[in-house]
Amino acid sequence: MRISIRNVTKQFDRFPALGGVSLEIGSGELVALLGPSGSGKTTLLRSIAGLEHPSSGQILFDGEDVSNLSVGQRRIGFAFQSYALFRHMTVLSNVSFGLKVRPRKTRPSRAEIRARALELLDLVQLGGLEGRFPSQLSGGQRQRVALARALAIEPRVLLLDEPFGALDAKVRKELRRWLRQLHDRLGLTTIFVTHDQEEALELADRVVVMNKGEIEQAGTPVEVYDDPATAFVSEFLGTVNTFQTTLNDGIAEVLGTEFPVADADPGEGPQRRHGPAIAYVRTHEIELLSRERAEGIPAIVRAVFPFGGAIRVELAVEGYDMPIQVEVPRAFFEAGEVQVNSGLFIRATNARVFPQYN
């Protein structure tokens, strides 16, 4: 199902949670709403569900305005961050709840409800656990019960609020992969909220980065990662070093190299080409050069974290207060030049420069 969000705003008392959000979500898309807490991502998700009523704007499902439909009428599958399972019901009763509460006319027979619930439990790989109570399940299992329960009503869209928020790192990754497979199999339009960029980038077809109740950028994971549209997105995605710099006719110097100012959003009008600017450089966009070449900026190694394929190095550079974080290939590290307190040269290979307003 297609979802169109048109200029939706939401005020909580006097505090604006959403300030005019517009977004098109295609049928069968898997979309992540990504942002820090307070960015309005959950409010947007809940508005789509009908759990929150926007102060203004429209939400359309397949072209039909659902703004006046109640949660129950919208036929959405919603998985809550806390799972919100019914503690006093077995797994089977939880999953069949949505079918049992249907009006008599549209309610399937008891045998059908049972069969359908068991089928869904197989789908979420919980076959055989139908007699358990939620308290007897692990976190990952509870999340899958919540999903099966949401799927039981044959929703038109699946909405997931921080679906992996309460799980440990390993289960998170497993469940993420599993959710992707499930989505590909069912082809259901799915929107999930997360504050974890890795989760959004790995799982979603499209990532919508939100901040302060507005959409900063929406695009494929590669687009938002490689081509951040705003300073906020640059800083939020990946691990970045931040540098204060100055624009001079649209060019700024960062760690000895010159970079052009990032393209402005066409809606924002002419961009400032002179004055203070801020530059974002990802940890893998800084090159370490050996002493012999004597290029770039001199730096001193302060700490080395030699784990994994890429080695994280912290460097001190004169004139910068914060240590500079760099990731270097393991081979470079093994060549032996990176030692604590040894001197090196560094150079930025890429940077995103945004004029600083305030």
**Residues forming the site for other proteins (CB under 8 A):** 49, 51, 70-72, 75-78, 80-82, 84-89, 97-98, 100-102, 133-136, 146, 149-150, 152-153
* 25 versus 95: smaller Cβ distance to other proteins: 95
User: DSSP 3-state assignment of 233?
Assistant: helix
* Shortest spacing between CB 88 and other proteins, in angstroms: 4
Alpha helices in the chain (DSSP H): 41-49, 71-74, 91-100, 110-123, 139-151, 169-186, 197-203, 221-226, 231-236, 330-334
* 112 versus 226: smaller Cβ distance to other proteins: 112
Helix axes 169-186, 139-151, angle to 10 degrees: 20
Residue 21 CB contacts under 8 Å (≥ 6 apart), including other chains: 5, 7, 8, 9, 40, 44, 57, 213, 214, 215
* 136 versus 246: smaller Cβ distance to other proteins: 136
> For the residues of 240-263, what is the DSSP string, one character each?
EEEEEEEEETTEEEETTEEEEBPP
* 88 versus 185: smaller Cβ distance to other proteins: 88
* Shortest spacing between CB 76 and other proteins, in angstroms: 6
* Shortest spacing between CB 105 and other proteins, in angstroms: 13
* Shortest spacing between CB 47 and other proteins, in angstroms: 13
* 148 versus 351: smaller Cβ distance to other proteins: 148
* Shortest spacing between CB 109 and other proteins, in angstroms: 17
Residues 242, 248: contact at Cβ < 8 Å?
A: no
| Cα 28 off chain centre by | 18
